[in-house]
Structure 1
Amino acid sequence: MPQWIEIVVRSFAIIIGLFLITKLLGKKQLSKLSFFEYIVGITVGDIAGTLSMDRDLNLTNGVTSILVWSLFPLVTSQISLRNKKFRDFVEGNATVFVRDGKILEHNLKKEKYTIDEFLEQLRKKDIFCVDDIEFATLESNGDLSVLLKKEKQPATYGDLHADAPEQIEPQTVIMDGEILDEPLAQIGLNRAWLDAELEKRNVLLDNVFLAQVNAWGEMCVDLYNDHIKAAPLKERVLTIVTLEKCISDLSFLSVTANSVENRAFYQSAMTSLEELSRKLRPLLKG
């Protein structure tokens, strides 16, 4: 077998093997590495690279070595799920840097953190004054978590409105021109509603690259052809026009009604509708 073909075969086999091992280890190892997992990752990568290029190395022995090294994180993760002490030993604990607004200098020294490095990490989080911090901790994966003092925290919608409605994540209902029925059902809609929305925009399903529906039932559409624009929806404009028409009709009826009671009723209805129109107008024009 030619040398380059053997290298291709070995490399392809190792790539497939590493992919299967990564799937077996799970997503956690991709986003958060403990000290041990970091060492294992470097070692496995080095073994795999050497095996793919060095023809003198026995492929079976190399794959066995990779499996042994990869088996350790899998075993340790399973033990960590069941034993807190073992998890703390392998993954480490978070270290508190600031408590009650006071810097714990001995913990900085323990983690070999200089005050300059600590201030640099704070600046990366847009925090330039230590006095603004209530609590800060260095997580086991090296990330710095910071809790600002209450008066320094930005106001949220919940702070201003105690009865804030529950927020629901937008659902992707069309992807690559294909309708996704499960997300559509999660928000209580169906294909008939989707077809009607596409028809309002004069858009064919095959032309839709992506479509998402938010918590208020509003759909945004992105087309394959960026030069084509979906027709704007006119429901909001029509709603405003309809409200104005109703107010005008009630005003006319309040003047032309035969009895005083009817005129008072139409006048009251017109006033209520005017108040509703005033509240809805900012939303309908948004």
Structure 2
Amino acid sequence: MPEWLDVVVRSVLFVTFLFFVTKALGKKQIAQLSLFEYITGITIGSIAGESIMGLDGDIYLGLLGIGIVAFIPFLGGLISLKSKNFRDFTEGKGTIFIKDGKVMEDNLKKERYTVDEMLALLRDKDVFQVSDVEYAVLEATGNLSVMLKKENQPLTPKDLNMKVASIKEPQTVIMDGKILDEPLSTIGYSRGWLKTEIEKLGVTIENVFIGQVNSYGELTVDVFDDKLQVPSPQERPLMLSTMKKCQADLELFALATENKDAKQLYAKNSEKLQNAIDKVTHILKS
């Protein structure tokens, strides 16, 4: 076999083998590397590179070496699930950098971090002043987790005693001009419904780059032509506007009539409708 063809075969074989090895080790191997996994990754890469270009060597020995090295973190992961001490030893523990608003200088030195490096990590979290921080810990992965002081945390609807509508994950039902039936059926809609909604927006499915249905059953689309303006859904604001108009009409009828029974009926239903409006306004507002 020519050497160039041997290299091609070895490359394809090792890339395929490494793909399945990485897949077996799990997503953590590529998302958050511990020191143990980092060393394993370098070793596997070195063995693969040497096996691909080492044309005089036995290819099966390279595969065996990768298999053995990959099995070590796999076994370590199983042990880590059972033993916290082993997990702390192999993956490390978080180190507190700021506690109760005070910088832990000894911990910075222990992790060999300078003040400038700590400030850079804080800026990555959009924090520019140390005195705004209540608690900050350097995770074993090298990320800095930051909790701001209560007075510096952003307001939430809960802080203001406001009710907000719950939101579910939007479903992508159109991609690259093609309908995706699985997410469409997940939310209980048909192709006929989707085509009707598309017609309301004045576009065709073929012109839609991506289309999503939110938790309120509203379809929003992004079209291939960036210059084309697509109207946003108006069902909820329109419904709220209609309810307010009905409530105002009932109040007007109560004022206009001289019949006591009718006046009382109009006023009572106007109050009921106003209560309903108060309960759903946070949902129907766009």
Structure 2 residue aligned with 1:184: 184
Structure 2 residue aligned with 1:134: 134
Structure 1 residue aligned with 2:71: 71
CA deviation after TM superposition for structure 1 residue 242, in Å: 5.6
CA deviation after TM superposition for structure 1 residue 193, in Å: 3.1
8 Å CA contact 2:247, 2:270 repeated in 1 = yes
CA deviation after TM superposition for structure 1 residue 82, in Å: 1.6
Structure 2 residue aligned with 1:102: 102
Structure 2 residue aligned with 1:152: 152
Residues 1:218 and 2:192 aligned together: no
Answer with 222-231 or 99-108: which moved more: 222-231
Answer with 127-136 or 227-236: which moved more: 227-236
Structure 2 residue aligned with 1:26: 26
Unpaired segments ≥5 residues, structure 2:
none
CA deviation after TM superposition for structure 1 residue 184, in Å: 3.4
Instruction: Give the counterpart letter for 1:110 in structure 2.
Output: K
Tell me how far apart the structure 2 counterparts of residues 167 and 236 of structure 1 sit (CA, whole Å).
15
Answer with 241-250 or 112-121: which moved more: 241-250
Tell me how far apart the structure 1 counterparts of residues 277 and 42 of structure 2 sit (CA, whole Å).
65
CA deviation after TM superposition for structure 1 residue 227, in Å: 5.5
CA deviation after TM superposition for structure 1 residue 7, in Å: 1.3
CA deviation after TM superposition for structure 1 residue 206, in Å: 3.9
Answer with 138-147 or 200-209: which moved more: 200-209
Answer with 45-54 or 181-190: which moved more: 181-190
Q: How does 1:244-263 map to 2 (within 5 A)?
A: 259=259, 261-262=261-262
8 Å CA contact 1:92, 1:140 repeated in 2 = yes
Unpaired segments ≥5 residues, structure 1:
none
Answer with 245-254 or 207-216: which moved more: 245-254
Structure 2 residue aligned with 1:171: 171
Structure 1 residue aligned with 2:47: 47
8 Å CA contact 1:177, 1:209 repeated in 2 = yes
Instruction: Give the counterpart letter for 1:123 in structure 2.
Output: R
Instruction: Give the counterpart letter for 1:215 in structure 2.
Output: S
Question: Residue by residue, what CA displacement relative to the aligned partner does 1:70-106 show, whole Å, maximum 9, x if unpaired?
Answer: 1111111111112211111111111112222222222
Question: Residue by residue, what CA displacement relative to the aligned partner does 1:157-178 show, whole Å, maximum 9, x if unpaired?
Answer: 2222354443322222223444
8 Å CA contact 1:240, 1:277 repeated in 2 = yes
Question: Residue by residue, what CA displacement relative to the aligned partner does 1:80-134 show, whole Å, maximum 9, x if unpaired?
Answer: 1122111111111111122222222222221112223222222232222222211
Structure 2 residue aligned with 1:199: 199
CA deviation after TM superposition for structure 1 residue 148, in Å: 0.9
8 Å CA contact 1:133, 1:148 repeated in 2 = yes
Tell me how far apart the structure 1 counterparts of residues 233 and 165 of structure 2 sit (CA, whole Å).
25
Instruction: Give the counterpart letter for 1:66 in structure 2.
Output: I
Instruction: Mark the CA change 1:238 to 1:94 in structure 2 (over 3 Å): closer, same or farther.
Output: closer
8 Å CA contact 1:200, 1:233 repeated in 2 = no
CA deviation after TM superposition for structure 1 residue 63, in Å: 1.6
TM-score (norm. length: structure 2): 0.81
8 Å CA contact 1:200, 1:231 repeated in 2 = no
Tell me how far apart the structure 1 counterparts of residues 118 and 87 of structure 2 sit (CA, whole Å).
26
The total of aligned residue pairs comes to 286
TM-score (norm. length: structure 1): 0.81
